[in-house]
Amino acid sequence: MATRQPGAALPVPCADTLARIESPLSPSTPSAAVDAVPMTLADVYRDHFAFVWRTVRRFGVAPPQVEDAVQDVFVVVHRRLLDFEGRSSVRTWLAGIVRRVVRDYRRTNTRKPALAGAQTDFLVDDLSGGHASPEENVMANEAARLLHTLLDQLDDEKREVFILAELEQWSLAEIAEATGAKLNTASSRLRLAREAFEQGAQRLRARDAWRLK
């Protein structure tokens, strides 16, 4: 886990911004518009904060720790920005940093069961951004809860490729680059992840059908 340095703290966005971050419909900034060099920390933060926040959450950091994990990601970005040579897109570079930070947090949670348990007790952020009815907000939050329940059933490698492919709409080449896997390996992980996700969804549907009898 990255150690913060004085002056490295970044402001937390306002509530209405956070409300839209979890939505899989959040648009991604075209990489061509942000990959110009030189780049500043402020540039990366402005253009990619939403991606980092939702990916940290989806990769499995417990909700009470998401803010800290996101800040740790940008501390690492601050340290390594001068080393970024533009050989990959900013998004794939960031995804590699997010993976490492998240895995540190998940290992900590494994050693501290209370933190891992907090993940299911935390209300998912409102996905509507204030433009939906209370009923729609409830349905959106429940859908997000179910999504995270299913993601939690995948191991780290399958979870990562599934999220990047299905929720972020990345190509296999981008996923392979971000995860450091060979293209065939990334493809195999994605196939297995889709199968596992669908099996989990079928179990949830069967459970709900039994409850309604």
Q: Could you give all domains of the chain from N- to C-terminal order, each with its CATH number?
A: 9-132 (no CATH), 153-213 (1.10.10.10)
Q: What local confidence, expressed as pLDDT, does residue 85 receive?
A: 84
**In the numeric block, which tokens belong to residue 4?**
């913060």
Q: How confident is the model at residue 145 (pLDDT cuts 50, 70, 90)?
A: confident
Residues 162 and 193 sit within 8 Å (Cβ to Cβ): yes
78: left (phi over 0), alpha (psi -120 to 50) or beta: alpha
Percent of the chain residues past pLDDT 70, beyond the cut:
69
Q: How confident is the model at residue 3 (pLDDT cuts 50, 70, 90)?
A: very low
Percent of the chain residues past pLDDT 90, beyond the cut:
52
Residue pLDDT, tens place only, 34-92: 444 468 999 999 999 999 999 999 999 988 999 999 999 999 999 999 889 888 899 99
Q: What is the mean pLDDT of residues 23-34?
A: 42
**In the numeric block, which tokens belong to residue 29?**
């900034």
What is the distance between the terminal CA atoms of the chain, rounded to a whole angstrom? Answer: 47
Closest CA to 8 of 45, 37, 34, 39: 45
Q: Who wins on pLDDT, 18 or 61?
A: 61
Q: Residue 113: is the preceding peptide bond cis (ω within 30°)?
A: no
Residues 44 and 94 sit within 8 Å (Cβ to Cβ): yes
Q: What local confidence, expressed as pLDDT, does residue 110 receive?
A: 64
Residue 121 dihedral angles phi and psi, to the nearest 5°: -100, 0
Q: What local confidence, expressed as pLDDT, does residue 103 receive?
A: 93
The winner for highest mean pLDDT among 97-101, 138-142, 203-207 is: 97-101
Q: Rounded to two decimals, what is the model's pTM? A: 0.71
